[in-house]
Chains A and B, each alone.
Chain A
């Protein structure tokens, strides 16, 4: 059974840092591309970042570029999101999501974790 379990969320002051983790199991983690998606309270879903299966290719949403760093450790079956210079608008539930694809033109997130809440407030 595929499982993604996030951890590391919590309350942090504006300007502070936090590192989120996502522990994967039930599939060959090193073969899959991974993403972080967030959802502010009462708001919609927002894609945050992507990392290729090897970790060599990375993309960020403009809203977090320069402040967040995605990484992975395939030996530990883990995905990470280092968040620096946090702002109130970064307050959200953060989900890790496995990426799937059928063919060129069809991409999707087939498994999601339960999410971890990050609250940025003084």
Chain B
């Protein structure tokens, strides 16, 4: 089965830029989607497709992809962006089976 690998934790100074990466073979075939999860809350979709934000998601969140790597960038991080972030894609089988990344804890200093 497919795997998606993320760095366990990153930190960013308030107002600065942070990039979170997600690596996996399935990303050569499918775009990643990205989810923000704060403690005790359900995940929230922040980026999908090539670089699309759902309504209500600030434009400081952006996504990109190259080869087997997808990235989520927060430009001008705010205190409220401190959370766990997960990438996700269909797995390489091509069926409706999915895989989540290992998750990245973002700390805003």
The A contact surface, by secondary structure, is strand
State whether A106 touches B31 (Cβ < 8 A): yes
A62 and B1: CB pair below 8 A?
A: yes
Asked if A47 meets B97 with Cβ closer than 8 Å, knowing A62-B1, A106-B48, the reply is yes
- The distance in angstroms between the C-alpha atoms of A114 and B103, with both chains bound, is 19
Contact partner of A46 (CB less than 8 A), chosen from B29, B52, B100, is B100
Q: Among the listed A107, A113, A115, which residue makes an inter-chain contact with B33, where contact means beta carbons less than 8 Å apart?
A: A107
Question: Are A105 and B29 in contact, with the CB atoms below 8 A?
Answer: yes
Convert A31-65 into 0s and 1s, putting 1 for each residue whose CB lies closer than 8 angstroms to a CB of B. Answer: 00101010000001111001010000101011000
Residue A102 at the B interface, CB < 8 A? Answer: yes
Q: How far is the CA of A100 from the CA of B54 in the complex (A)?
A: 11
CA distance A72 to B45 in the complex (A): 23
The CB with the most chain A CB atoms within 10 A, among B35, B50, B89, B96, is that of: B96
Contact in complex: B95, A59 (CB < 8 Å)? yes
Question: What separation, in Å, do the CA atoms of A59 and B50 have in the docked complex?
Answer: 26
Q: How far is the CA of A37 from the CA of B37 in the complex (A)?
A: 14
A1 to B59, CA, bound (A): 22
Q: Does B49 contact A (CB under 8 A)?
A: yes
16 additional contacts (CB under 8 A) given A61-B97, A112-B42? A37-B100, A44-B102, A44-B103, A45-B37, A47-B97, A50-B96, A57-B96, A105-B30, A105-B31, A106-B30, A106-B49, A107-B90, A107-B98, A108-B45, A109-B88, A111-B45
**A/B interface sample: 20 pairs, CB < 8 A:** A33-B96, A44-B100, A44-B101, A52-B96, A59-B95, A61-B97, A95-B42, A99-B96, A102-B49, A102-B52, A105-B30, A106-B30, A106-B49, A108-B45, A108-B88, A109-B45, A110-B54, A112-B42, A114-B42, A115-B42
